[in-house]
A = this chain, B = another copy of it.
Amino acid sequence: MKIAILTIGNELTSGKTQDTNSSFIARAMETQGWGISAMTSVGDDEGTIRDALDWLLARSSAVIVTGGLGPTADDITTAAIARAFGLGLVLDEKCLVHLQARFERLRIPWTENNAKQAVFPEGAETIFNPTGSAWGFAVKKNGKIVAVIPGVPSESRRMLPEGVIPLLRREFPDAAQYIETRVIKLFGISESSIDQTLKDVDFAGLGVCIGFYPNFPENRVELTVRTPDAAQAAARLEKAQAEVTRRLKKNIFGYGNDTIEVIVARLLTEKKLTLAVAESCTGGLICDRLTDVPGSSAFLNRGLVVYSNQAKTELLGVPEDVLKRYGAVSEETARLMAEGVRSRSGVDLGVAVTGIAGPSGGSDEKPVGTVFVALADGRRTLCEKCSSRWDRRRTKVFSSQQALRMLQQYLTEG
Which of A's residues lie within 8 Å of B, judged by CB? 12-20, 22-30, 35-43, 48, 51-52, 55, 59, 211, 213, 277, 279, 281-288, 290-292, 294, 296-297, 300-308, 310-311, 315, 345-346, 357-360, 392-393, 396
Contact = CB atoms under 8 A, between A and B. Distances in A.
7 contacts: A14-B26, A17-B23, A40-B40, A288-B396, A291-B357, A294-B358, A302-B306
B285 A305 contact: no
Contacts of A16: 27, 30, 211, 213
B13 A26 contact: yes
Contacts of A301: 307-308, 310-311
A315 B302 contact: yes
A287 B291 CA distance: 14
Given A14-B30, A38-B41, 5 more contacts: A16-B211, A38-B48, A284-B286, A288-B396, A294-B358
B294 A284 contact: no
Q: In terms of DSSP, what is the predominant structure of the interface of chain A?
A: mixed
Contacts of A35: 13, 43
Contact of A307 (B285, B303, B306, B392): B303
Contacts of A20: 18
B52 A42 contact: no
Given A15-B27, A396-B288, A311 B302 contact: yes
Closest 6 CB pairs of A and B: A283-B291, A15-B27, A284-B284, A303-B305, A284-B287, A15-B26
B43 A292 contact: no
A37 B137 CA distance: 26
Given A25-B15, A284-B291, A48 B39 contact: no
Contacts of A281: 291
Contact of A41 (B39, B51, B302, B345): B39
A19 B26 CA distance: 11
A284 B292 contact: no
A302 B38 CA distance: 53
Most buried by B among A23, A51, A52, A396: A23
B307 A304 contact: no
B307 A297 contact: yes
Given A359-B294, A392-B292, A15 B28 contact: yes
A38 B42 contact: yes
Nearest to A303: B305
Most buried by B among A16, A28, A359: A16
B294 A283 contact: no
B396 A291 contact: yes
Nearest to A52: B38
A27 B15 CA distance: 4
A24 B292 CA distance: 31
Nearest to A358: B294
A357 B291 CA distance: 9
Contacts of A358: 294
A295 to B, nearest CB: 8
A118 to B, nearest CB: 25
Contacts of A292: 283, 392-393, 396
